[in-house]
């Protein structure tokens, strides 16, 4: 009798632990998506944040912000399609600095996000969204570079 109860308890605990194990498995298989989303959020904040002492926002900065949003949305949809918790993103590190350093830091974040997405994707639907996100991030990086040239940084 005691053995039956012990076996039932072990079985119940095992079944309850499966969702936790599945979530941990996602994190190890595709951690790049969540890091890339966090990096994109940071880049967006850096490109759109303006101190009153800054010059007016360049057209390239506005276009870069739109590309970053498009990339973020593609990554969010890819994560949702995979059944992932998009609220599991690492927190963004918001440190401002002057206009020049913000644009430089935004480009570093965009590069980091693209690097995080380079892993091979086994889900065809997510692969298409990932590839679109990489293209948007690349265009955003190009536009941030153009904004830096406009401001002679």
| CA 93 – CA 39 distance, rounded (Å) | 9
pTM of this prediction? 0.73
Task: Decide which of 31 and 76 is more confident.
Answer: 76
pLDDT tens per residue, range 32-53: 888 899 999 999 999 998 777 7
The range of the structural domain enclosing residue 104 comes to 31-150
Task: Decide which of 26 and 138 is more confident.
Answer: 138
Which CATH number fits the domain that encloses residue 35?
A: 1.20.1260
Question: How many domains does the chain contain in total?
Answer: 1
8 A C-beta contact, residue 64 and residue 2: no
| CA 77 – CA 14 distance, rounded (Å) | 31
In a domain, 10, yes or no: no
In a domain, 22, yes or no: no
In a domain, 77, yes or no: yes
pLDDT tens per residue, range 37-93: 999 999 999 999 877 777 778 899 999 999 999 999 999 998 888 777 878 776 766
pLDDT tens per residue, range 120-152: 777 887 889 999 999 999 999 999 999 999 887
């Amino acid at each position: 009798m005691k053995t039956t109860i012990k076996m039932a308890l072990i079985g119940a605990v095992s079944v309850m632990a499966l969702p936790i194990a599945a979530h941990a498995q996602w994190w190890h298989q595709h951690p790049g998506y969540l890091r890339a989303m966090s990096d994109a959020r940071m880049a967006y904040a850096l490109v759109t944040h303006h101190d009153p002492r800054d010059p007016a926002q360049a057209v390239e900065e506005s276009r870069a912000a739109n590309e970053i949003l498009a990339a973020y949305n593609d990554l969010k949809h890819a994560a949702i399609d995979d059944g992932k918790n998009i609220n599991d993103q690492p927190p963004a590190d918001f440190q401002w600095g002057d206009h020049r350093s913000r644009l430089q830091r935004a480009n570093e974040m965009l590069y980091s996000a693209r690097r995080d997405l380079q892993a091979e994707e086994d889900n065809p639907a997510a692969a298409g969204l990932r590839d679109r996100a990489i293209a948007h991030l690349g265009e955003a990086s190009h536009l941030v570079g153009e904004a830096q040239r406009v401001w002679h940084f």
